[in-house]
Structure 1
Amino acid sequence: MQEVQEEMLWEGTASHVAKLGTYLLCLLFCWLIVPIFIAIWTAIKLKATRYQLTTERLRIREGILSKRTEEVELYRVKDMSVEWPFIYRMFNKGNIRLVTSDHSAPTIVLEAISGADELMDVLREHVEICRDRKRVREIDLD
């Protein structure tokens, strides 16, 4: 069996729209000084979370001082959906929710993603390619 070269398909972060409520509350109470630091910490934490989609896996890196990486093989994705909350729709953002057979990450949400529809199409295509290549099929026993 030949070795397949893993390629980067997409890389991104969540939009600040995901934390709009937090930012508005911090703005409302900015005279207390502490909310300014909360807003800054929230923004840094949001941008410290990176999503990477390759031809083989989805990788989520998060953390500011301590880092954590979660990897899910694409063939483990069982179901996916796109959610369009009202505020997100105004900014053309969406959430991609993945249900996986991975024990450490049974549900993954890629939050406030630009072009969520297009990304989900790419994701679906490569999930099927990985399943075919590894000869994996999903069987539900209910």
Structure 2
Amino acid sequence: MPPQAQPPLGSSPTQATDELFFEGIAKHSANIGTYLWWVGVCILGGGIAYGLLQIEALRGKPLWLLALIGTPMLLWSYLQHISTRYKISRRRVEFQKGVITRRLDSLELWRVLDVRYEQSVLDRIFDNAKITLIGTDQTHPNLLLYGLPNHRQLFERLREAVQFARSNNRPMELAPGAHEGGDVFGHHHH
């Protein structure tokens, strides 16, 4: 029986490699467009209300309610934002989203082909960036991480972790010949 390669006792390989890069929610400035949009809707509603109040017949009606038209959506987009949590480690990215029903997704880094970093002019102003993890196949499509703090450093670390994961952490099932061998012999016996 050949000696099996095993990690030395007391040093579990997961502890060393599964370092946490980030955990939490994205910055609110990442959502600024959505927030401003609904604030704009409120302002527009207020403007319309003001205009309508100039009409004799409508005077005294509670048209000020129009100014609140965007408020529920503003609140909703805020709730959506704070309920999307990310957990990014050296091995995988996990994110859960959903205000009412929670959904947890996770993407193993060895399934990531490439990591892309983009920053628009607006992003520079608010110090945000888009980090896109490009998946290897359709079942693990691209994953966008937007507005996370320390994005530049996060990008560097993710890129490095992806390269590392792709070279080292291929799960055993994917090793060529690991299973086929058994089958072939199985068939020969008949």
Task: Normalising by structure 1, report the TM-score.
Answer: 0.84
1:51-66 matches, within 5 Å, as 51-66=86-101
Q: CA deviation at 1:95?
A: 0.7
**SS of corresponding position for 1:98:** strand
Deviates more, 1:16-25 or 1:60-69: 16-25
Q: CA deviation at 1:68?
A: 0.8
Unaligned runs of 5+ in 1: 137-142
Q: Determine which of 27, 39, 57 is the counterpart of 1:15.
A: 27
| Counterpart code for 1:58 | V
User: Is residue 49–residue 60 contact of structure 1 (8 Å, CA) maintained in 2?
Assistant: yes
Output one character per residue of 1:93-122: Cα deviation in whole Å (capped at 9) or x when no partner.
101011112533311100122221110111
**SS of corresponding position for 1:82:** strand
2:13 aligns with: 4
Structure 1 residues 4 and 40, CA, compared in 2 at 3 Å: closer, same or farther? same
Output one character per residue of 1:1-36: Cα deviation in whole Å (capped at 9) or x when no partner.
445223422113222223222222322332421311
2:125 aligns with: 90
1:139 aligns with: none
Quote the sequence identity (%): 29
| Counterpart code for 1:72 | L
| RMSD between superposed Cα atoms in Å | 1.9
Output one character per residue of 1:20-72: Cα deviation in whole Å (capped at 9) or x when no partner.
22222322332421311101110110111111112211111111110111111
Name the structure with the higher strand share. Answer: 1
1:44 aligns with: 79
Greater gyration radius = 2
Paired residues, what number?
136
Name the structure with the higher helix share. Answer: 2
Unaligned runs of 5+ in 2: 1-5, 47-65, 172-190
1:123-134 matches, within 5 Å, as 123-134=158-169
Say which structure, 1 or 2, has more relative contact order (CA 8 Å, 6+ apart): 1
Task: Normalising by structure 2, report the TM-score.
Answer: 0.64
